[in-house]
Structure 1
């Protein structure tokens, strides 16, 4: 192995010896002792706890109006290699509406279900999903904020994958309210929708402890990449946005920001040609 030091940006910058992120990363590492024990992990939960979590991997707003998303949708015909090579972050949108069907494609193919599979007891079932998730626990919930979509009123929705539906939380033109919650409001201003990725931390942490936070962020990345690829295949633009005012956005969705919080967002729309 080449032991020559690889100089990077970190070697040219002062290091923060009190970095919280560095401490977190170091203290969530898994290590194996000489006698075979794994340190840094969490004691495994009981089988009934795990089975319950696997069978209830989504949130439900029971009293809200629901809008069913169309299914089945026509297969997308663009070759996957072309989609991957064409994918890029689009930061300028035309402000025109996307279709209800296009929004349905993005949600269904980014975080939808694929049918049931049996658990290890051979009796209980869980839903398979279109993305991987640590332990199949799926701690992310999707909240689309719709600005312009033909066939769907503007407002805040929650994506319910079990029924493939949108649960309506608030209707209205929310552009001015939402724009100020992002570091780059000009990017959001002309988007057709912003898809918020919200983590329910205990859904993952009960099994993996503090290391589960790493897995939650990885889950968000899997979903966001699917959003990029599906948007690209539909001729839409997408851009992932990590710059947002956490407390403002959490409060806007009615989240406490501790047990549940926004961890990522993706704006989609028609590219400005």
Structure 2
């Protein structure tokens, strides 16, 4: 039993719960629940009741429990001696099992991209002024060098924290990008075969997953993935930002971690969009994908992995 309002939870067997419910009039049984913090004293106030009704009316009731718990997270390193607490926790985590391994693919012909070229020396303010999400993408295919620039610069910062050295546990606290993998849907990029590829930021290489072949099949599959949205018809490529939940849960063992993971995916998308804009590319951002089809196209593990957002460029 869990009460996000009270910030408390108790493990109770089914038979004990049924017995307690059957004897709900027994003051001793109610006292047990009250002592565990699972009964609120008094009625829910008017504002809270109105808020609950709003969530239910919008069909968001299943998300309400996680949202409320994420507001009440109790952090292990609260207090003045937070650095010592962090070190102790990380040492314990590493002793127990270590972070989950990253999925590896065995490409028969991995494609190593050229080194990213220096970005144009455009003022950041000018790039931000031009940054838009284009509803219509003009067909402007580009080459593998431009794709290298986009991935190399756009994902550089997010990739620094992917696999810290266990000999330096404090690096595990730098978590931006730590839980993400990157896949690229290539439609029309000179020098790269159309298809779905896994991008490795350490080797700066693409691994063709072999789930689709050719430009027409890749466009059709990704258009279906994007619920029929037409930007894929004229795009050159799409970058998929995929979360690996166990990898993030290993670091953050509370429900607020999910909220932070969503924030981080938006930061990654913003970096890709700014680099693309600086390079003169059009961009289209959307998190709207069919999860089941994404699992098949990208060979993801259900529950453990999910596409959080995508950036399509032309």
Please tell me the TM-score bracket, short chain as reference.
Answer: 0.7 to 0.9
Structure 2 residue 113 is matched with structure 1 residue 69: yes
Residue-by-residue CA offset, 1:177-219 (whole Å, 9 max, x unaligned) = 2211213421222111111111110000022123322222122
Which residue of structure 2 lines up, in the alignment, with residue 48 of structure 1?
94
Partner-residue secondary structure (3-state), 2:175: helix
1:259 CA displacement: 0.8
Equivalent pair of 1:57/1:138 in contact (CA under 8 Å): no
Q: Give, in whole Å, the separation in 2 of the partners of 1:51 and 1:162.
A: 24
Residue-by-residue CA offset, 1:143-185 (whole Å, 9 max, x unaligned) = 1000000111111100101111111112422111221121342
Which residue of structure 2 lines up, in the alignment, with residue 78 of structure 1?
122
Structure 2 residue 161 is matched with structure 1 residue 161: no
Larger radius of gyration: 2
Q: List gaps (5 residues or longer) in structure 2.
A: 1-49, 80-87
One of 280, 288, 291 as aligned partner of 1:235 = 280
Which residue of structure 2 lines up, in the alignment, with residue 190 of structure 1?
234
Q: Give, in whole Å, the separation in 2 of the partners of 1:76 and 1:50.
A: 47
Which residue of structure 1 lines up, in the alignment, with residue 30 of structure 2?
none
Higher helix proportion (structure 1 or 2): 2
Structure 2 residue 253 is matched with structure 1 residue 215: no
Which residue of structure 2 lines up, in the alignment, with residue 5 of structure 1?
none
Partner-residue secondary structure (3-state), 1:180: helix
Q: List gaps (5 residues or longer) in structure 1.
A: 1-9, 38-42, 128-132
Residues 139-154 of structure 1 mapped to structure 2, 5 A cutoff: 139-154=179-194
Residues 1-273 of structure 1 mapped to structure 2, 5 A cutoff: 14-16=54-56, 19-30=61-72, 44-45=89-90, 46=92, 48=94, 53=99, 58-112=102-156, 113=159, 121=167, 135=175, 138-170=178-210, 171-173=213-215, 174-209=218-253, 210-269=255-314
Equivalent pair of 1:60/1:160 in contact (CA under 8 Å): no
Q: Structure 1 residues 258, 134: closer, same or farther in 2, change over 3 A?
A: farther
- Taking CA–CA contacts closer than 8 Å with sequence separation of 6 or more, which of the two structures ends up with the larger relative contact order? 1
Q: Give, in whole Å, the separation in 2 of the partners of 1:96 and 1:225.
A: 21
Equivalent residue pairs, number: 245
Higher strand proportion (structure 1 or 2): 1
Q: Give, in whole Å, the separation in 1 of the partners of 2:227 and 2:276.
A: 23
Q: Give, in whole Å, the separation in 1 of the partners of 2:98 and 2:120.
A: 34
1:50 CA displacement: 9.7
Partner-residue secondary structure (3-state), 2:136: coil
